[in-house]
Structure 1
Amino acid sequence: MKLLYDLNSLRPPRSGIGYYTQHLIEGLLRQPDVEDIAGWVGSTVFQGASLDALMRTDAALGKAAQFSDGLTASMLRAARHVPGVYKSRTIVRNIMSASARKDFGSRGYLYHETNFVASPYKGPSVVTIHDLSHRRHPEFHPRVAVKYLDDGLPPTFRQVGRVIADSHYTKREIHDIYGLPDEKVVTIHLGVESSFRPYSQEECAPALDELGLRHRGFVLSVCTLQPRKNLRRLVEAFARLPADLRHAFPLVLIGADGWMNSALMRDIEPLANAGQIITPGYVSRATLLKLYASAAVFGYPSLYEGFGLPIAEALASGVPVLTSNVTSIPEVVGDAALVVDPYSVEEIEAGLERMLNDEPLRNDLIAKGLRRAAELTWEQTVQKTADVYRSLVG
């Protein structure tokens, strides 16, 4: 098999879809029947040694890195709301990559779009749909993003031979909303990197010292700061906890700045001034691993997930998880987390207080979480994805 990818999701700061793309390619490079893998960013093609370098470091995308923070990054985030931006970006990217796609298509490469909307391609193709939150909760997204997906997904579904869904829940959503036949949509759960694991207190100390945290002495949440992650209710629930618990277990919110979060930032401000909420923003991968493994509780009461990879990463890190009882989340966690109604501040508050005060419960959830996470491997994800490819080119 010869495989082709749009690698724009690898631009830093790398998000969940970027890591999904990276792990797929890394695993597929070890498949015996994969002859070659190539991809593009803009008009630049990555293949062989250059693709390998891209997997190991973002240095090859250095120009993009300068837009991960600062004034330019803020302007780019604001531009999400400008009509025509998504469409214009798509047109520009399609023009820049047109020659490469035509060349690889003529040489029999299978194209896998890992990020929702596929570029036009004359050859076998596959798309991964991570969730359909833009249809179920359009209020949580910039209108231009909703329009981009509404316009782009129908032609994508007509073009591709198979659709990969991250969960059975997402597969049902695709069927219910777009009417795709069951045989066209394949559920393949995501995996968890082996680097997400329990770490000793000594291994975590440098990362904790940098943020003034103590081991097992904080509540952690990791996500882009955007409405569907339900951070306002999490913050409100945390604010209702007894003062001694808030001081002993500050809430640490890790994640890049998102959209529609001005009200959230106002909610956070008084608690941050009191030292009870810490918002480091986007942190390095190495720091993130240690923060996961050091938290007393991982709080993730999201309103909608197509899979919820941060939850799986928390389970693998040996931290007890408080999360939601909706969408794909129960499918992912099984009995390995304390689940609550994410629309109820009272349930979130009660769950946090119970977990922070109940060490036997935390220990039980840690043990169950490690067992569940062990079932979610990238090796399995890669193998099942390769089987989808084989069904189209075999």
Structure 2
Amino acid sequence: MNSVDSVLIDLTQLPLERTGVGIYAVNYVQRLREQAGEAHLSFLVLDDDAALIRDVRAIPNATAIVLKASLFRRFLFRVLLEQLIMPVLAITRGIGATHSLHYSFPLLSFGRFKRIVTVCDMSFFLFPELHVPAKRVFFQFFIRRLPKVEGLLFISESTMHDFMRFFPHCEAQRCVIPLGADLARLQAAADARMIEELRQRFQLDRFILYVGTIEPRKNILGLVKAFERCAPNHPELKLVIAGKLGWDYDSLLAYIDASPVRERIVLTGYVDEAEKHALLKSALLFTYVSFYEGFGLPVLEGMAAGVPTITSNISSMPEVAGKGAIQVDPNDVGQIADAMQSLLADAQARAELAERGRVQSRAFTWESTTAISLDFYRRLLGRREAAARLGQLNE
């Protein structure tokens, strides 16, 4: 990959509190330090994200283009960046392709560079009612135009299948890049002081854990109702809901406040990676019974950490979980509760499921995600080079 065929990767969409696409992006950037080789990569990054800037600058041959967060964390300036500044940078610097990690992308390339977009899920079309209206309109607008870009990366086979259901005539070059887990870190023991600090802060002993954003799609209400059914048989057990508030959570919080086991439901708020690791290593069970996921990264992290895991039997989650987690119908509270009860009552079953989860998690690494992505860059830009050579021959 020569300088003419370099790639400009947009990291300005990432929030400072990492979830979902943020975790994907950070791990991708970190693995590029070892895997980028001679690739010429440029990155757009905001100046309030010191850790990300540091990771980018550690990549050989990489260029960090640092922009003011005070401007470009504002919606209108973000649109300006994406639709005007990115194309200008790509054209003036001889960039071969741009890579946008979260749906939206430069609509115009003037035939001068290719556009690659990572598609994280199709919930904006499958479950539009589960999104804030403004976001739904914005992202549906861009997703409808994805068939016109040159390259699409999907984080699961399920997501690509869902996309092709809506856009069967898409001509973009496509590739599935399953996400990964930091296996070494997740399998290692958590910091004992962090575990103790969290236990003291939230008065934890035996607990079931959920980690993720608090929003309707995650089916936290179904999880709480299932816990209510289990709670009488396990008076010492708590349910820990770890994650930041997303949207449309008022009815859920009201339900929790009125729950007969309210004192045993712990809402931690956002947890960083170290805190999440400590909670995973301390949990009796990990539950993630979402209505829909493009990949289901928390499921993979739960299995990798060696926690007996319960997840949903729909969308991408079976693809990730395999035989490493119990799969249930997320619409059936009874199934969720029965899965909890069976594991809570049987230590041997928990140990066997935890081991199957660890084995399953080994199939998903960030190193593989990165290698597939780099290969996709080379193949997409190789087509560009071949077309250019053919044009020269025909002149």
What is the CA distance between 1:173 and its match in structure 2? Answer: 0.6
User: Is 1:353 the counterpart of 2:338 in the alignment?
Assistant: no
What is the CA distance between 1:26 and its match in structure 2? Answer: 2.1
What is the CA distance between 1:149 and its match in structure 2? Answer: 1.6
- TM-score of the two chains, using structure 2 as the length reference: 0.84
Shift of the 182–370 alpha-carbon distance from structure 1 to 2, 3 Å rule, reads farther
Shift of the 155–251 alpha-carbon distance from structure 1 to 2, 3 Å rule, reads same
Aligned length: 362
- TM-score of the two chains, using structure 1 as the length reference: 0.84
Unaligned runs of 5+ in 1: 55-59, 68-87
* Correspondent of 1:335 among 281, 303, 323: 323
Please name the residue that 2:271 is paired with.
283
Please name the residue that 2:80 is paired with.
95
Answer yes or no: is the 8 Å Cα contact 1:9–1:17 preserved in 2: no
Higher alpha-carbon deviation: 107-116 or 329-338: 107-116
For residue 379 of structure 1, give the secondary structure of its aligned residue in structure 2: helix
Q: Which amino acid aligns with 1:36?
A: L
Please name the residue that 2:99 is paired with.
112
What is the CA distance between 1:326 and its match in structure 2? Answer: 0.7
What is the CA distance between 1:107 and its match in structure 2? Answer: 2.3
* Correspondent of 1:205 among 196, 199, 222: 196
What is the CA distance between 1:200 and its match in structure 2? Answer: 5.9
Please name the residue that 2:138 is paired with.
148
- How far apart, CA to CA, are the structure 1 residues paired with 2:371 and 2:260? 45
Q: CA RMSD in A?
A: 2.9
- How far apart, CA to CA, are the structure 2 residues paired with 1:200 and 1:24? 23
Q: How does 1:288-307 map to 2 (within 5 A)?
A: 288-307=276-295
Higher alpha-carbon deviation: 101-110 or 134-143: 101-110
What is the CA distance between 1:353 and its match in structure 2? Answer: 1.0
User: Is 1:52 the counterpart of 2:57 in the alignment?
Assistant: yes
Higher alpha-carbon deviation: 337-346 or 119-128: 119-128
Answer yes or no: is the 8 Å Cα contact 1:318–1:370 preserved in 2: yes
User: Is 1:237 the counterpart of 2:226 in the alignment?
Assistant: yes
What is the CA distance between 1:385 and its match in structure 2? Answer: 0.4
Please name the residue that 1:36 is paired with.
41
User: Is 1:170 the counterpart of 2:159 in the alignment?
Assistant: yes
Shift of the 251–307 alpha-carbon distance from structure 1 to 2, 3 Å rule, reads same
Q: Which amino acid aligns with 1:262?
A: D
Once the two structures are aligned, what percentage of the paired residues are identical? Answer: 28
Q: Which amino acid aligns with 1:34?
A: A
Give CA-to-partner distance per residue, 1:269-298, whole Å, 9 cap, x none: 144974210001102221111101110001
Answer yes or no: is the 8 Å Cα contact 2:281–2:305 preserved in 1: yes
What is the CA distance between 1:230 and its match in structure 2? Answer: 0.6
Answer yes or no: is the 8 Å Cα contact 1:198–1:293 preserved in 2: no
Shift of the 200–385 alpha-carbon distance from structure 1 to 2, 3 Å rule, reads closer
Unaligned runs of 5+ in 2: 60-65, 383-395
Higher alpha-carbon deviation: 301-310 or 6-15: 6-15
Q: Which amino acid aligns with 1:99?
A: I
Please name the residue that 1:264 is paired with.
252
- How far apart, CA to CA, are the structure 2 residues paired with 1:279 and 1:41? 30
Give CA-to-partner distance per residue, 1:286-320, whole Å, 9 cap, x none: 11111011100011111101110000000011100
User: Is 1:13 the counterpart of 2:17 in the alignment?
Assistant: yes
For residue 163 of structure 1, give the secondary structure of its aligned residue in structure 2: strand
What is the CA distance between 1:188 and its match in structure 2? Answer: 1.1
